[in-house]
């Protein structure tokens, strides 16, 4: 296990649990050094004072805060240490809340909390089991890396994990990024839900870092004096607007094929024909109404003409001939 990065105690109510904090994750990124290509000498960054143009030592470097007007004020380590931090050595639990009430965007790096000594074992297990049974998480305050932070305590297997959290005012407002309101075709929404169902899994899939694996293979080949075999680059997205329903159908078929299921899509709704706009509908209805009215008028006129002819014929038939 890694070395502890913090030590103190969890406190809630009158209960105190001595603990040590250890990193829960590790960075597996491949890191490079800056080297001089001609002789492979290490290239290091120097700290240069931009006013004097010379390299300065660590003892000459301090903390400065630039004001809005351009002036800079210095803050010493002694001044920082003098600022009171009530949570300097405590993870002070403020509340127990439902896990779903925490927006994941506020959750940052995670650390394991380890019971510090035999005395801490029982209250540690007590807190862990209470969190498990209540299905809640704890929100706490603590001083970490020179500032007061929010922490989220949760259970992971048999251990308690604390995640550093961002303060509410550290989250940017996403409203200006959201697309404008638009009407969605119900069949397109059903198609998206069908794709979600097809791609759903009971547990997190076994994923791995393909880029890092390829990079490590390139490094291994070059270390043995071999030419690295570079993988074929993935096709760039076309950027063209595609038929949404066709894309959903193809996605469902591909997902089923990857899972070993029949790739045919029976339950996906077919895209309906393009709906006429309100103006087109109104014009079509108006035209139909006018046509119907004209037909009725013509029929009425024809009926009047026929009736008139019949009346004239009757009168002609009933008229007596003149005497000679």
Ordered domains of the chain (ranges, CATH): 1-26+82-170 (2.40.290.10), 186-195+241-272 (no CATH)
Kindly report the three-state secondary structure assignment for every residue of the chain. CCCCCEEEEEEECCEEEEEEEEECCCCCCCCCCCEECCCCEECCCCCECCCCCCECCHHHCCEEEECCCCCEEEECHHHHHHCCCCCCCEEEEEEEEEHHHCCHHHEEEEEEEEECCHHHHHHHHHHHHHHHHHCEEEEEEEEECCEEEEEEEEEECCEEEEEEECCHHHCCCCHHHCCCCCCCCHHHHHHHHHHHHHHCCCCCCCCCCHHHHHHHHHHHHHHCCCCCCCCCCCCCCCCCCCCHHHHHHHHHHHHHHHCCCCCCCCCCCCCCCCCCCHHHHHHHHHHHHHHHHHHHHHHHHHHHHHHHHHHHHHHHHHCCCCCC
pLDDT of residue 167: 92
pLDDT value for 219: 84
Highest-confidence range of 11-15, 101-105, 221-225, 252-256, by mean pLDDT?
101-105
pLDDT the model gives residue 243: 72
Confidence (pLDDT) at 306: 56
Mean per-residue pLDDT of the chain: 79
169-194 tens-digit pLDDT: 998 888 888 888 888 888 888 888 88
Yes or no: say if 62 and 72 are a contact pair by the CB < 8 Å rule: no
User: What pLDDT sits at residue 177?
Assistant: 85
What pairing do the DSSP bridges indicate for beta strands 15-23 and 107-115? antiparallel
pLDDT tens-place string over residues 117-161: 899 999 999 999 999 999 999 999 998 887 889 999 999 999 999
- Res. 299 pLDDT band, cuts 50 70 90: low
Tell me, yes or no, if the pTM score tops 0.85: no
Position 297 confidence tier, pLDDT thresholds 50, 70, 90: low
Average pLDDT over residues 54-67: 92
What gap in Å lies between CA 92 and CA 110, rounded to an integer?
A: 17
pLDDT at 9 (0 to 100) = 92
């Amino acid at each position: 296990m890694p070395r502890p990065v913090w030590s103190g105690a969890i406190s809630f109510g009158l209960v105190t649990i001595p603990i040590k904090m250890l990193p829960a994750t590790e960075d597996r990124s491949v890191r490079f050094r800056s080297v001089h290509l001609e002789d492979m000498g290490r290239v290091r960054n120097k700290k240069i004072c931009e006013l004097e143009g010379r390299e300065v030592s660590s003892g000459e470097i301090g903390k400065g805060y630039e004001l809005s007007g351009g002036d800079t004020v210095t803050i010493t380590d002694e001044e920082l240490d003098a600022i009171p931090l009530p949570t300097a050595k405590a993870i002070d639990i403020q509340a127990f809340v439902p896990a779903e009430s925490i927006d994941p965007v506020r959750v940052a790096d995670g650390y394991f909390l380890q019971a510090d000594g035999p005395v801490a074992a029982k209250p540690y297990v007590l807190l862990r089991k209470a969190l498990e049974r209540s299905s809640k998480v704890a929100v706490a305050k603590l001083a970490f890396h020179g500032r007061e932070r929010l922490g989220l305590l949760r259970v992971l297997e048999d251990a308690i994990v604390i995640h550093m959290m961002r303060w509410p005012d550290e989250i940017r407002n996403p409203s200006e990024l959201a697309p404008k309101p638009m009407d969605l075709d119900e069949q397109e929404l059903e198609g998206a839900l069908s794709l979600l169902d097809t791609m759903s899994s009971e547990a997190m899939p076994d994923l791995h870092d393909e880029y890092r694996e390829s990079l490590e293979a390139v490094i291994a080949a070059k270390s043995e004096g071999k030419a690295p075999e570079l993988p074929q680059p993935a096709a760039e997205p076309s950027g063209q607007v595609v038929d949404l329903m066709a894309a959903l159908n193809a996605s469902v078929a591909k997902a089923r094929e990857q899972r070993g299921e029949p790739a045919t899509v029976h339950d996906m709704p077919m895209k309906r024909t393009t709906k006429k706009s309100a103006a087109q509908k109104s014009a079509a209805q108006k035209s139909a109404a006018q046509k119907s009215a004209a037909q009725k008028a013509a029929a009425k006129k024809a009926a009047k003409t026929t009736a008139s002819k019949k009346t004239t014929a009757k009168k002609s038939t009933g008229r007596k001939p003149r005497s000679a």
